[in-house]
Amino acid sequence: MTEHRKLSGGQLRSEVVPTRKLEAYRYADIDALASVWGALAPPERIEIAAQQKLQQIWLPSGEDIEVRRAEIMLEPGAEMAVFALNTARDYGRIELDVTLREGARFSLHAANLGTGTSTLEIVTTVNHAEPSAAVPGSEQVSSPMVAGALTTTVG
């Protein structure tokens, strides 16, 4: 599934907005996130079967606030490459939680492009579920392009 999760019409989530005390939200624009938190859909679930390969290109929707979240499971020997562009005018967040099984490989190639007072984030968690699912099983290449007072974080 490659659709962008629209912030309007999403499933309701907990009304408790994360705080900067949580590592994944340390640099987040909490006010912008709070304005959409109740409408965020659950993370998109992507599962890649053993020995299969998938490439996805994630493009921005043009919304002022964009949050794209995914939970990715790569079974033994599976490979996935994500190419993402994060350009929201006010707040953009790409949030990935990736689990690698034996021999699985994941790569993320992403860019934060913004101007003005944008806050753009790419937040990844990679879980090497088995000893042989280790580096070089995952790769991240991120490029921030900034102008003005933009805040950009990659972690």
**105-150 per-position pLDDT tens digit:** 999 999 888 877 788 888 888 898 887 765 555 666 666 655 554 4
Q: How far apart are CA 28 and CA 106, in angstroms?
A: 25
Question: Which of 87, 84, 3, 92 has the alpha carbon at shortest distance from 43?
Answer: 3
The residue type at 23: E
What is the pTM (predicted TM-score) of this model? Answer: 0.77
pLDDT higher for 95 or 34? Answer: 95
- The token pair that represents 67 in the structure block: 């949050």
H or E element: which one contains 105? strand 105-113
pLDDT for residue 8? 35
Q: What is the mean pLDDT of residues 86-109?
A: 91
pLDDT higher for 6 or 60? Answer: 60
pLDDT for residue 139? 66
pLDDT in tens, 99-117: 999 999 999 999 888 877 7
- Cβ contact 76:51 at 8 Å: yes
pLDDT for residue 50? 97
